[in-house]
Amino acid sequence: MSSFIFCLVFAFLLSWRLTLAAIPFTIMFIVPGLGFGKMMMDVAMKMIESYVVAGGIAEHAISSFRTVYSYVLQKPYGVGNKARFCKSLDDGEHGISSLGWISSG
């Protein structure tokens, strides 16, 4: 905006008659430019809003996928871990009782 005013003042100093004749043409260029800029800003805001909605949907889908994936993996590994834990407890009890028999005998 400042460059426009500077150019207008400079042109007025060089040739005031030509500047007065050119002012209506500059207004004819500025008004549609402002209107088009406003329309572009509105479209950009709508795009940002749609990206927010799409991002929320994608985040929900990824979260659901992770939940299902962890639940699916929990079943086989959960049973395996439980069996290994029980076997370790059994081995530990057997080791302690064996140690007791060996030390007493």
Total tally of structural domains belonging to the chain: 1
Res 37: pLDDT: 93
Q: What value does the mean pLDDT take over residues 10-33? A: 87
Tokens encoding 71: 């639940």
Tokens encoding 52: 């927010």
pLDDT per position as a tens digit, 52-79: 888 888 888 777 776 666 666 665 555 5
Q: Domain span at residue 74? A: 2-104
